[in-house]
Structure 1
Amino acid sequence: MRFAVVSDTHDNLSAVKELADALSKEKLDFVVHAGDVIAPFTLKEFERLGVKLYIAFGNNDGERRILTQIAERNSWEIGDIVEFPGGVVYHGTDKRVLEVLKKLETLVVFGHTHEVLKEKNLLNPGEVCGYLTGKRTYAIVEDGEISILEL
């Protein structure tokens, strides 16, 4: 199984387009988004990948109803905490929820901090937007091996 993990796109449309270009060259089973898509037009960029998305709502996602409509139209999964093959994704705004999820024997993907973290069963791919760290990062997970890549 090979999939991409992204987070915190924050409406940086040029970064999302660059990300979509990079991901379209990969042979992916699906994409996991750990939240803060923000606006529906940003999510639409992922439609061209032609793979299933598993999306956790972030604390800055304002148009949840429209984001949900886009997800449902594409048969994607979206919610506060979403299971995907091999793991679960949650934005990460409540550390107590993260502590509970860490107890699962599966990959726990989260975002929110904008900083890359690979630790035991935890993965934060950093930020696609590049606003806080100056780095636009994402992850590729293949058969349990995690690679952090920079746009």
Structure 2
Amino acid sequence: MRIGLLSDTHDRVPAIRELLQHMVAGGVSLVMHAGDYCSPFSLQPFHDLSLPLLGVFGRNDGDRAALMAAAKTGFGAAELYESPHSFDLGGKSVLLVHDLADVHQRSIDGHEVIVHGFTHVPEMKARGDSLLVNPGEGCGWLHGAPTGAILDLDTKAIEFLKLTGPEWKV
């Protein structure tokens, strides 16, 4: 099972759309978003591409009620939760959290995959039997290029995505 990973998209709809298109081309069947969508209109590319979304809120998601309403509009395959949120996906225990500092080490240790955001920096590391992944910033505002990732849930392999070209330079 291939899962798209996003975080910190901060309303940059063209980048969200292009990252999602790369994910669809890469065989992704679901996207996990680690928060900071910001405005409800940033969910539109998920609806347009009929791409299911599992997400948590970040610190910059102002109108959570409007984001929840937007998530339920259209194809209805979007679910947003408070951070952190733990669930079982493809037989793996997954923790989705905006800021990793908000969870205790014990919470991390009980999961096979931990997806987080907040730092805007893509990274992948192993901690014991757990895989920790930050897909970076889907917006590209801080580091100059929108990023995301594709996770192969069966093998825990990560493929980082980075949009290049003059249209993405900040």
Give the structure-1-normalised TM-score. Answer: 0.90
Aligned residue type for 2:120: H
Match of 1:119 among 119, 122, 125: 125
| CA drift at 1:51 | 2.9
Aligned residue type for 1:147: E
Across the two proteins, how many residue pairs are aligned to each other? 150
**Residue 145 of structure 2 aligns with which residue?**
135
Paired residues of 1:101 and 1:108 also in contact (CA < 8 A) = no
**Residue 95 of structure 1 aligns with which residue?**
101
**Residue 79 of structure 1 aligns with which residue?**
81
SS of alignment partner, residue 108 of structure 1 = strand
Distance in structure 2 (CA, Å) of the matches to 1:134 and 1:111 = 17
Q: Structure 1 residues 47 and 98, CA, compared in 2 at 3 Å: closer, same or farther? A: farther
1:91-134 deviation digits (Å, cap 9, x = unpaired): 01x61415343212320100000011201121100001111112
Distance in structure 2 (CA, Å) of the matches to 1:133 and 1:84 = 32
SS of alignment partner, residue 51 of structure 1 = coil
**Residue 17 of structure 2 aligns with which residue?**
17
Give unpaired runs (5+ residues) of structure 1.
Answer: none
Aligned residue type for 1:13: V
**Residue 108 of structure 1 aligns with which residue?**
114
Q: Structure 1 residues 139 and 66, CA, compared in 2 at 3 Å: closer, same or farther? A: same
**Residue 70 of structure 1 aligns with which residue?**
70
Paired residues of 2:32 and 2:53 also in contact (CA < 8 A) = yes
Aligned residue type for 2:119: T
Give the structure-2-normalised TM-score. Answer: 0.80
Say if 2:152 is the partner of 1:150: no
| CA drift at 1:150 | 0.7
CA RMSD of aligned residues (A): 1.7
Could you say which structure has the larger radius of gyration? Answer: 2
Q: Structure 1 residues 27 and 58, CA, compared in 2 at 3 Å: closer, same or farther? A: same
Distance in structure 2 (CA, Å) of the matches to 1:75 and 1:45 = 13
Paired residues of 1:31 and 1:53 also in contact (CA < 8 A) = yes
| CA drift at 1:70 | 2.2
Aligned residue type for 2:109: K
Give unpaired runs (5+ residues) of structure 2.
Answer: 164-170
